[in-house]
Amino acid sequence: MTRFGTNEVLCPTPPTISAWSPSLAPGPYWNSFEQFRIGGTTALESINIGSVATLRSKTTCFRILRDEDFQRVIGLASEVHRLKQGITFVVQAARVVAKHKDQESIELLIRSVSMLGESPVLPEREGHDQFEITKKEILENSGDDFDVKTANIPRPL
């Protein structure tokens, strides 16, 4: 696409948008923190990619996502915010053109629309590195001789 009367390219290639869709399905549901706690690690592992787990406590409700989904939701929210700011800028430029129909104002509007279209891809990032315990660490810390020494823990009065 080029500007009329010039060879200046306004938007050489359309930006690639992520193929991820924000359609998250309901996942596991726990009625209490105790139910979630008893489930242990398997409770967390039962949350699949693309699903949202629900944990109800006495006072509130929590939603739990896998890191991959969380990073994509954050990326999508960032893109929505960027678009909102860009559209506000384009609307302001259009108001200037409505008041002042000179060449500079029209070019400002064209550039503001072009900037909005030339944005980078939907910001996504890989999550944190997976936490892995080595076999050596498992052997070193798997003994049954662990003692919390509860007598030394300060108690409220």
Same-domain status, 44 and 82: no
Q: Walk along the chain (157 residues) and give the pLDDT tens digit of each residue.
A: 444 444 444 444 444 455 556 788 999 999 999 999 898 888 989 999 999 999 999 899 999 999 888 888 888 888 788 888 888 888 888 888 888 888 888 888 888 888 777 765 555 555 566 667 788 887 777 776 666 677 777 777 7
Q: Based on the domain organization, do 73 and 105 belong to the same domain?
A: yes
- Same structural domain for residues 44 and 83? no
Structure tokens at 109: 């509007």
Same domain, 60 and 81: no
Tell me whether residue 29 is in a domain: yes
Whether residue 115 is found in the same domain as residue 81: yes
Buried b / exposed e along 24-41 (16+ C-beta atoms within 10 A): eeebbebeeeeebeeeee
Spell out the residues 6+ positions from residue 102 whose beta carbon is closer than 8 angstroms to its own: none
Domain check: are 71 and 119 in the same one?
Answer: yes
71 shares a domain with 41: no
How many domains does the chain contain in total? 2
Entry pTM: 0.53
Domain assignment present for residue 96? The answer is yes
- Under a CB-based contact definition with an 8 Å cutoff, are residues 53 and 63 in contact? yes
Whole-number Å distance between alpha carbons of 95 and 3: 21
**Amino acid of residue 157:** L
Q: 93 is in which domain, residue-wise?
A: 67-123
Q: For residues 123 and 78, give the distance between their C-alpha atoms in angstroms, rounded to a whole number.
A: 7
Q: End-to-end alpha-carbon separation of the chain, Å?
A: 74
Same domain flag for 82 and 115: yes
* CB-neighbour burial class of residue 15 (10 A; exposed 0-12, middle 13-18, buried 19+): exposed
**Does residue 147 lie in a domain region?**
no
Same domain, 58 and 75: no
Beta carbons within 8 Å of 121's beta carbon, 6+ residues apart:
15, 16, 17, 18
- Is residue 75 in some structural domain? yes
The 10s digit of each residue's pLDDT in 77-101 is 887 888 888 888 888 888 888 888 8
Decide if 10 is inside a domain. Answer: no
Question: Do the domain assignments include residue 52?
Answer: yes
Q: Is there a single domain that holds both residue 83 and residue 49?
A: no
Residue 140 is assigned to a structural domain of this protein: no
In a domain, 118, yes or no: yes
Residue 45, token pair as written in the block: 């592992």
